[in-house]
């Protein structure tokens, strides 16, 4: 489910040079538990400069799944009951299957966004101490509006509820999506998780992050050392190498992918697919249709049934050149 949806092409010379230099100088094993200091600062700087978050420190993780695991497990054990949206990435349920944590699921709204309405949080069951939120949604790509996210954060602070925000898909939003630049203030009760430099060509190295307060990063790092793993020095050095011009290059990557999405949507419609609107460019969401799905399977196209996300009725397809070619 966390397969790279676009590789960004082959590694360029500076990435290869950085990785080879790390190997020649003996950086062949693991870096310090919270991650390479330079990479941590670059990720934090990116999140700040793009208006996604304010403050906090970064802990580098072995991809988004480890970021999910560490935040959910550490906060669930330390604080208590966690509330999740009914519709969320299946990787979160895999985390819950590993250890028994007290948790509840919240119904999502009836619109196409499939997000938990802020007003519904007022009905949180007693004892909930952590709220897990995806914006953009890992299924639909839908984002909370800035005022909605501010309402959620304010409610959590008043109720002494910590919040984990998975904002990893923000890099794939084309056009307005307020919450992707909401300037979330990071403190001891506010956490953000995501992937580093998506679409840069290093997706396969699985470099993720947790943005949290300095104190919470230290606490999570202790648990990471005990129950999890550290990513390798060559992988983190590759992430450092691509970060220098990521913003500039990613603009073109998004533009190219947006055009590819238009082409793929057109060919999907020719098969009878009904497209669901989404602000992200790296996947397409369609209403489930057995006839369409048979055509996709015959063309050997990858797609995911939304039942895996907790709600049937949709399918999600990555925007890939192979998919476009398969539907010619």
The highest-confidence range among 19-23, 97-101, 184-188, by mean pLDDT, is 184-188
So what's the pLDDT on residue 178? 54
Whether the CB-CB separation of 208 and 196 falls below 8 Å is answered with: yes
Residue 313 pLDDT greater than 50, yes or no = yes
pTM of this structure: 0.91
pLDDT band at 177 (very low <50, low <70, confident <90, very high): low
**DSSP letter string, 225-267:** HHHS---BHHHHHHHHHHHTTHHHHHHHHHHHHHHHHHHHHHH
pLDDT score recorded for residue 244:
84
- Beta bridge partners, 305, equal 315
Mean pLDDT taken over the chain: 88
Confidence of residue 200 (pLDDT cuts 50, 70, 90): confident
Residue 108 has pLDDT above 80, yes or no: yes
Report DSSP letters for 135-185, one per residue: SS-TTT-----HHHHHHHHHHHHHTT-EEEEE-GGGGGB-S--GGGG--EE
The pLDDT value recorded for residue 314 is 96
Quick one: which of 99, 143, 139, 169 has its CA closest to 310?
139
Chain segment 117-161, per-residue pLDDT in tens: 999 888 888 899 999 999 999 999 999 988 899 999 999 999 999
Q: Is residue 315 classed as helix, strand or coil in its secondary structure? A: strand
Q: What is the mean pLDDT of residues 162-179?
A: 84
Residue 205 pLDDT more than 90?
no
Peptide bond into 116 cis (omega under 30): no
> How far is it, in rounded angstroms, from Cα 182 to Cα 89?
22
Contacts of 172 (CB under 8 A, 6+ apart): 5, 136, 141, 198, 199, 254, 257, 280, 281, 282
In the chain the domains, ranked by start, together with CATH numbers, are 13-245 (3.40.640.10), 247-326 (3.90.1150.10)
């Amino acid at each position: 489910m966390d397969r790279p949806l676009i590789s960004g092409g082959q590694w360029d010379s500076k990435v290869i040079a950085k990785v080879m230099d790390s190997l020649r100088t003996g950086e062949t094993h693991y870096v310090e538990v919270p991650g390479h200091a330079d990479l941590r600062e670059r990720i934090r700087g990116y999140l700040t400069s793009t208006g996604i978050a304010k403050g906090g420190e970064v802990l580098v993780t072995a991809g988004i799944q480890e970021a999910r695991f560490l935040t959910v497990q550490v906060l669930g054990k330390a604080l208590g009951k966690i509330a999740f949206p009914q519709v969320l990435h299946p990787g979160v349920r895999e985390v819950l299957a590993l250890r028994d944590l007290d948790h509840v699921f919240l119904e999502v709204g009836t619109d196409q966004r499939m997000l938990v309405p802020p007003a519904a949080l007022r009905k949180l069951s007693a004892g909930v101490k952590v709220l897990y939120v995806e914006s953009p949604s890992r299924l639909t790509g839908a984002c909370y509006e800035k005022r909605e996210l501010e309402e959620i954060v304010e409610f959590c602070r008043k109720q002494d509820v910590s919040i984990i925000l998975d904002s990893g898909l923000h890099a794939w939003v084309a056009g307005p999506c307020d919450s992707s630049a909401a300037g979330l203030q990071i403190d001891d009760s506010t956490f953000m998780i995501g992937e580093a430099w998506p679409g840069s060509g290093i997706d396969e190295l699985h470099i993720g992050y947790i943005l949290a307060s300095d104190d919470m990063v230290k606490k999570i790092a202790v648990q990471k050392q005990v129950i999890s793993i550290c990513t390798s020095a060559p992988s983190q050095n590759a992430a450092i190498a691509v970060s220098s011009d990521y913003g500039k290059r990613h603009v073109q990557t998004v533009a190219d992918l947006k055009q590819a999405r238009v082409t793929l949507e057109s060919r999907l419609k020719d098969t009878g697919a009904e497209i669901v609107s989404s602000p992200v460019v790296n996947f397409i969401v369609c209403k489930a249709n057995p006839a369409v799905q048979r055509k996709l399977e015959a063309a050997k196209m990858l797609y995911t049934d939304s039942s895996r996300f907790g709600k049937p009725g949709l399918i999600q397809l990555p925007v890939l050149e192979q998919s476009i070619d398969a539907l010619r």
